[in-house]
A and B are shown apart, each in its own frame.
Chain A
Amino acid sequence: MSTLEIKDLHVSIETEQGDKEILKGVSLTIKTGETHAIMGPNGSGKSTLASTIAGHPRYKVTSGTITLDGEDVLAMSVDERARAGLFLAMQYPVEVPGVSMTNFLRTAKTAIDGTAPKLRTWTKDVKTAMEALKIDAEFASRNVNEGFSGGEKKRVEILQLELFKPKFAILDETDSGLDVDALKVVSEGVNRAQDENEMGTLLITHYTRILRYIKPDFVHVFVDGKIAEQGGAELADRLEDEGYDRFQNVPA
């Protein structure tokens, strides 16, 4: 059983007009086996939260803490966080020139586990996971994300989630840009990872439709860099009907 704890997190970015505060005191605790959905309008700071957890250098934590089983995540480098068991499925995965998927997956797996995976079982694991996510075998020999469509990139993020077996997965709008079939395939992948590995999930989304396939235990409404309201799965249904207006009309 692991715990990822975010306490009163304030985050700024540097802009041409000086520092701009984007996260204005976020607190959130996720435990193994739990699925938390973060829902909020565009620009509310959801990706900022995700990227800050992963350690993207652009985001400056001005106060607050993030801990993983008591360990200070903010003191870790980006790669250390991944090795500690954090995984971010990115909203916009980048194309990495020159590196084949095969080579990338094996190198990352070796880094995360601390030892190289046994070649035979690894090849089989990759193949099985690709088939389950309906990713063409030919993708293994292509460069990381190079020329992949938006939907293909998202599937490949979930492929990594299944192979790397993190303690906590943060999924940043993994559902956006997916058609219904792809959404189902990807959701099944997340659910498999949740069932088979000891994992907690932070599911960031703009729409409620993915919540039909991935059932959240908690829903947090994110507005203007803060959690405006929390509840169970039923809160998502209310958002579906009412939208975010109710929250945005309240002056910040």
Chain B
Amino acid sequence: MTDTATHTTGEKARIGAPSISGFTEEGENLSPMNEAASPIGGAASKAHSHGGGAGIPDSSRAGRLTSYNVDDFPVLTGREEDFRFTPLKRMGGLHKNELVGVAPELVVTDANVSTLETVAMTDARVGSAGTPEDRISANAWKHAAEAKVVTIPANSTGEQVTLTYTGTSTEAAASHLVLIAEANSESVVVIDHVGSAVLAQNIEIDVREGAKLTVISLQAWDEHAIHAASHLAKVGKAAHLKHIAVTYGGDLVRLTPSAHFEGEGGEVELFGLYFADAGQHLEHRLFVDHATENCKSNVLYKGALQGKDAHTVWVGDVLIRKEAKGTNSYEANRNLVLTEGARADSVPNLEIETGLIDGAGHASTTGRFDDEHLFYLMSRGIDEKTARRLVVRGFLNEIVQQIRVPEIEERLAETIERELAATDS
């Protein structure tokens, strides 16, 4: 009678040092599905490992290959650790084909002090903030015809600029953006993706010393879009990146934000909100690489799912390297399954290679909104529609309120209403 909320978690943290003060772990119930982590393709990753992969198991993030050259990555089979949830058949060839289609057009609005340049892929700024971490990203790098560079000037404050990518083609395409927040700038950048597209995309995010940058990336595509995006962030000394991914449009979206600390005192907040409907595959895999001392990271992704074969994947890799003393890190993923037939995979991976940290923890829950919840709310006079809205809005609100751009918050509220209206019918 009370068997209602179900809680599952993914892999348990792999902990380098056994007992660390301040280390907390929630959600002890292991999902049997995730118990055995399949190691990623060994030889290649070892050969190309960055940051001393010696003695680290293959499945460690420290040992994973990064390269600008697509041929360094083995051809994908779907069995790789980082592709095991991704239906390659539905990728529109982004991982293997020539990406020669017309890339979505970029329009910049509300720019006051920021600048937009179109440069060749040989420009020094391309590749300055990131290196591809998987084959799709490298393929996009290879095929991008040009790069856009948006720069927020040093010491400027209050810039809030919107970059809108509007897709009109269904041919596989590649695109590249470099976003530079110069030293001590403070800004908000909204990156909006609308229309139809089959797109592999790299977005480099260079947050320089003392800069404060908020990036809000909306994946608001039409229903057939296919989108694989790597957001590669470099966070400088005492810099602060707040990254918010909002994904609800498209047939398949795979977003891999990764943040690398380059100096002491950096902070990243990675937030995400996704809403998957029948048939949609929405995947978020993030990586926080603590490679320097006294940095802070906080990750929270929340997802709602409804409809047959709605599938979401969340994987959170947090690596606290030996040299990252004084790290403070927390990551959590929470899913709310609204109907039968939807599936949420959630895998937090916390690797800690030093005992000298401030704190680190992770949590993952997948709750089900079921008839008992509905009965409880309705037995208090609340009608069914209102009850559903109450639950979903309440659940997602924690992320929505992080956005702090009224137009986008409003748009999201409307989107959530529309998605919910679809369940009612």
Contact = CB atoms under 8 A, between A and B. Distances in A.
Most buried by A among B5, B367, B371, B378: B378
Main secondary structure of the interface of A (DSSP, over half): mixed
Contacts of A231: none
A108 B392 contact: no
B378 A77 contact: yes
A160 B373 contact: no
B376 A90 contact: yes
B386 A97 contact: no
Contacts of A56: 375
A103 interface: yes
B394 A103 contact: yes
A98 B380 contact: no
B264 to A, nearest CB: 35
A94 B373 contact: yes
A104 B378 CA distance: 11
Given A103-B390, A103-B394, A104-B390, A96 B381 contact: no
A240 B369 CA distance: 41
Contacts of A57: 371, 375
Contacts of A100: 394
B336 A79 contact: no
Contacts of A98: 336, 367, 369, 391-392, 394-396
A97 B344 CA distance: 16
B372 A164 contact: no
Contacts of A90: 376, 379
Contacts of A55: 379
Nearest to A143: B394
Interface string B1-13: 1101100000000
Most chain B beta-carbon contacts within 10 A, residue among A83, A95, A143:
A95
Contacts of A130: none
Interface in A54-108: 54-57, 77-79, 81-83, 88, 90, 92-100, 103-104, 107-108
Contact of B381 (A93, A108, A143, A144): A108
Interface string B374-401: 0111111111101000111011100000
Contact of B382 (A79, A93, A94): A79
Nearest to B376: A94
Contact of A79 (B4, B381, B396): B381
Contacts of B1: 92
A33 B201 CA distance: 70
Interface residues of B, number: 27
A202 B402 CA distance: 46
A112 B379 CA distance: 10
A83 B5 CA distance: 27
Nearest to B304: A98
A140 interface: no
B376 A82 contact: no
A135 interface: no
Contacts of B2: 92, 94
Which one of A83, A104, A160, A164 has the highest number of Cβ atoms from chain B below 10 Å of its Cβ? A104
A78 B379 contact: yes
A112 B391 CA distance: 18
A185 interface: no
A233 interface: no
Nearest to B382: A111
Nearest to B337: A97
A54 B336 CA distance: 26
B206 to A, nearest CB: 36
Given A57-B371, A79-B384, A92-B1, A97 B378 contact: no
A90 B375 CA distance: 11
Given A55-B379, A79-B378, A82-B378, A96 B384 contact: no
Contacts of A83: 381
Given A107-B382, A112-B381, A164-B381, A78 B391 contact: no
A93 B376 contact: yes
Contacts of A96: 373, 376-377, 391
Which of A78, A88, A108, A112 has most B Cβ within 10 Å? A78
B119 to A, nearest CB: 45
Interface centre among B2, B372, B375 (most CB of A within 10 A): B375
Contacts of A54: 379
Given A97-B336, A98-B336, A98-B392, A104 B5 contact: no
A94 B4 contact: yes
A97 B376 contact: no
Given A96-B391, A98-B395, A108 B376 contact: no
A143 B395 CA distance: 10
Contact of B5 (A79, A81, A97): A97
Nearest to A82: B381
Contacts of A81: 379
Contacts of A144: 376
Contacts of A82: 378-381
A99 B395 CA distance: 7
Given A97-B336, A98-B395, A107 B378 contact: no
Nearest to A111: B381
Contact of B391 (A77, A92, A97): A97
Shortest beta-carbon contacts, A-B, top 3: A98-B395, A82-B381, A111-B381
29 contacts: A54-B379, A79-B381, A79-B383, A79-B384, A81-B379, A82-B379, A82-B380, A83-B381, A90-B379, A92-B2, A93-B376, A94-B376, A96-B391, A97-B336, A97-B367, A98-B336, A98-B394, A98-B395, A99-B390, A99-B395, A104-B377, A104-B380, A107-B386, A108-B381, A111-B380, A111-B381, A111-B383, A111-B386, A160-B380
Interface of B: 1-2, 4-5, 336, 367, 369, 371-373, 375-384, 386, 390-392, 394-396
Given A77-B378, A79-B382, A82-B379, 17 more contacts: A56-B375, A57-B371, A79-B380, A81-B379, A82-B381, A83-B381, A90-B376, A93-B376, A94-B4, A95-B4, A97-B5, A99-B390, A108-B381, A111-B383, A111-B386, A112-B381, A164-B380
